[in-house]
Every structure is written in structure tokens, then in C-alpha cells.
Amino acid sequence: MAPLSYLSNGLSVPQTTLLASEVNNPFDYFIFIDGDDGAKIKAISGRTMNIFSTHATNADVVINACLSNLMNGGTILMGPGTFNYYNVLNWGGHSVNLIGSGRGKTTLVRQYTTNAQAITVTADNVTMAHLTIDGNATAITCSFAEMAFSGINNLAYDVEMKNWAGTGGITNRNVLTIDSCVITGPNPPINSPTKGQYCILNYNSTRNIIKNCNLQYGNLNAIFTSGQTLIQNCYMANCGVPAGGHIGNLGQSAIEHTVVDSCYFGKGLGADSGVEIANASYIVTNNIINGCSAWGIAVEGLNNPVANKWVIVRGNIVKNVGQMGIGYGLNPANTPYQYVIIEDNICFDDQATPTQQYGIYVYNMASNNYIIRNNICYNNKNGQFFDGGTGTSKIVTGNIGYNPVAAATITPAASGTSPTYQNTHGYPEVVAIFTNAGSISSIVVTRGSTNVTLGITSGEVILQNNDSVTVTYVSPITMMRYPM
């Protein structure tokens, strides 16, 4: 096809080539496949209407020529067709937009065999939109991400990234927005520690936005983030072949927080979780997590402890996972978060044979400063709610499915020292001690290896899980325990 047949009305481009909303400003270069000249790849200048660059087979030659000539930025439009590139596409410091004709219409296919990133954007204020990038994993061996952004204020919009061979589809170190993209790794996945690991890798980056995306077939994670990130309205599934969460976190001390909101997490391919939380502060709200093999939401703790790290888990639906719906403190090597709120979640299993072990489970490495309230847990395999936290500065209240053992009388001997009563029910209990006509000489509460003699001779004693109480008395006395 002759180049002018793509053009009409001066420098405008018809909708068949570019979305109508984009046709507002003149383009700098238009790259197309000229079917009337042996399918050569050509670039026409939007200013002179002359052919600027041409190559028989290599799209990288033409694209890089246009990039190099746009020192002060500009826009490159690409027509429909499959464009093979045999060398790295390098933006350098040039803020150049690359706009295709639509996902599945304009397709860049990697033929670049060097073990390196194939597309590098070090410039700021770059938009990449309306195209497909095929990493060609069956033919390429690579241990790097397919496309790397390292500038700031860049945008990937309506881009399909698929079938990459290296560690990830898109990697980023600075301010980047990824919107309305489809990012899928090799399918069937490559079970390798260095291939197809992450759909998106945010490494030591800040102020990123990932929204409205479909992320699948990451060998480890859909998103692995160690930076301040907003993740919203995304679909994630079929990730985590050997292990990993659909969202995983490396965590650095300088990170402010990551927000995960209104996403859907489907079943993975291995020992996968929905959201794995470590080190950074997190807000996880209004998500649906269905069928992950491991945890729904795993609040692991801090392996890089810094002050004032917190987690809020609110308003999520977690169902049919293989471990706990929501688990806190599951990594004994980590220290607990300083502050944790888990509230207004619904955790259940509606399978014929339930696999979700507990709705909410707090492990004993979690200690103080957490609130767990107003959650609903039902039909889970082994129990609905378990609080194994060892601290006393916590609030656990209003949880439906939190079914403590009923109140009961503790029957002591006629006189002497009572048998030590230990709370092993997984939630706080109150032990009421009444002297009746007898007398009490001491009440001792044991927490871990510490014994505390209370300065009372009757009254109520609060026992956290695994606490115990021993009373020395002369009969008759009465002891009762009941859940808080």
C-alpha cells in the first residue's frame, strides 16, 4: 500500500490507523508496512510527507531512526501489521510517544536474541499506547525484563504485553502509570526462577499507578512491588507456579505504603496467595480473592524492621483458598507490624469439600497493637477464627463466626493451691474468682516465662491465649471462666 493511502486531510490519520481521540495534533513520523513495495517497513515524515527511513525487515532500524531524530520529543504513529525488531528499541533521553493502531493490530515481535532488556525507556513523559508487544518466549532466551521504564511520568495505556521470556513483562524504577493493559506471561508458564517471573516488577520505585489491567501467567507474581504503588481494579490469576502471591512485596524502609483496592484474584497455578504483605505499610480494601492455593491475604510481618509500619485489611471477600483466608504473623522469622487493623471482611468456603482452613488466623508471633473486628467467617474447614496473638494491647470484638467455648466453672480442690488453669482457646478469656466464705492468699498470672502476683484477693483476671492463672486459697472459693 502506498504511504499516502494511509493519510487524508493533510496530516490527519484515519480511524483505521489511530483512535479518533488521538487525532488532534500532527504526528512527527508514521511507520507502516508498504505492501506495494515488498512489505518494506517505512517511516514517513509528518512535516515533509517524504519517506524518512526504510528497511526491508527490521522495524528496530526504522523506529530507532525516528527516535534518534526526535531530540526534543514528539509522536510516532504505527500502522497495522506485525513489526519484527532485531535490536533493542532505545528511547534514550527522548520524550517520544509511540502510538499504535490498537492491541492486536500493531504488533511488535521480539527477534532480538541478546540477553538484555529489549525495550528501554529512560526518558520522561513518554506515552506508549494501542499496540501489542510479543516477547517471543519460544524462540528467545533472556533473564531480563522485556520492557524497562526508568524515567518519570511515563504512561503505558492499552498495551498488550505477552509471552515474554525474561524476568518480567514491564519493570519500572520511577513514576509510571500502567492503565488498561493486558500483561500475560508464557502459557503454559515456564517453571524457572529466572524466566517469566513477574507481569509487573516495581523495584525500589515510587508513586506508581496500576489500574484496570488484566495480569496473568506470571511465574511468581502478577505484581512484585517494592515501591509506593496504587493497584486498583485489576484482574489477577494463573500466577505463582512454584510459589508467590499474585501481589508480592520486597519492601524497603523508605516506602510509604501500597494500596490494593477493588481487584479480583483468581486461582493460581501453584502455591500462590492473593496478597502477600511484608515490610511496607499496606491498605488492602474491597477485593475479591477466590481459590488461591495458599493464603488469601498473608500479613507476614517485617524482615526489615522500621518504626511506624502499619496494615489495614478492610472490606474484602476471601473464599475457597488453601490456607487461611486472612493470616497475620505467619512468618516466625519476621517481627510483627506496629499496627494492624483487620475489619469488615467476609471469609468463607462454599465448596462441597472446603479447603480454606480458617477464615482469620492470628499466629502466635503477632503480639500487640492490632484490632480485629466486625468480620464474618463461616463454613471454613478447621475453624472460623483463631487469635493466637500473645499481647494484651489488642481489640478482638464483634466477629461473627468467632465461637468461643461456652462459659464454665473451674472446680478447685477443697483448699491449698488450685490446679493451674491455662487459656488455650485462641481468644481472650475472663476468669472470675469469688472467695465465698473462704480466703485467698495469692493470685498469680503466668505469661510465657513471667509470673505476676496480682494485688487482689478476688475479682476478675483477663487471660490472653496461652496465659495461665494459679490461685492459693482456703476453701470454699468459686472460679469461672468465660470468653470476652
Band the pLDDT of 436: cuts 50, 70, 90: low
- The grid coordinates listed for 133 are 508487544
Domains 3-300 and 408-483 share a fold: no
Measure the CA angle with vertex 6, ends 5 and 11; round to 5°: 110
pLDDT of the residue at 1? 39
Please check the confidence at residue 11 and state whether its pLDDT lies above 60.
no
pLDDT of residue 346: 98
CB–CB of 442/472 below 8 Å? Answer: yes
- Amino acid sitting at position 172: N
What's the pLDDT band for 403 if we cut at 50, 70, 90? low
Please name which of 275, 300, 292 lies closest in space to residue 357, comparing C-alpha atoms: 292
List C-alpha distances in Å: 324 to 5, 173, 208, 359: 60, 33, 29, 6
Q: 300-336 burial string, b = 16+ CB within 10 Å, else e?
A: bbbeeeeeebbbbbbebbbbbbbbbbbbbbbbeebeb
pTM of the shown model:
0.81
The backbone torsions φ and ψ at residue 69, rounded to the nearest 5 degrees and listed phi first, read -85, -10
Handedness of CA 330, 336, 337, 340 (dihedral sign): positive
pLDDT the model gives residue 305? 60
- For residue 171, give the C-alpha cell: 519493570
- 119: pLDDT confidence band, cut at 50, 70 and 90? very high
Q: Which fold has domain 408-483?
A: Jelly Rolls (2.60.120)
> Which CATH architecture group holds 3-300?
3 Solenoid (2.160)
| Lookup: cell for 221 | 507474581
Q: What is the largest CA-CA distance in the chain?
A: 109
Q: What is the mean pLDDT of the chain?
A: 83
**Residue range 82-98: average pLDDT?**
94
pLDDT band at 136; cut points 50, 70, 90: very high
Rounded to 5°, angle at Cα 130 from 127 and 131: 105
By the 10 Å C-beta count (0-12 exposed, 13-18 middle, 19+ buried), 454 is classed as middle
CA–CA dist 14, 7 (Å, integer): 7
pLDDT digits (tens, 9 = 90+) for 31-66: 999 999 999 999 999 888 899 999 999 999 999 999
Instruction: Return the SS3 of 125.
Output: coil
Can you give the pLDDT at residue 26? Answer: 62
Give just the sign of the alpha carbon dihedral 166, 222, 131, 106: positive
Chain-centroid distance of CA 274 in Å reads: 7
- Domain ranges across the chain: 3-300, 301-403, 408-483
Residue linked to cell 484477693: 457
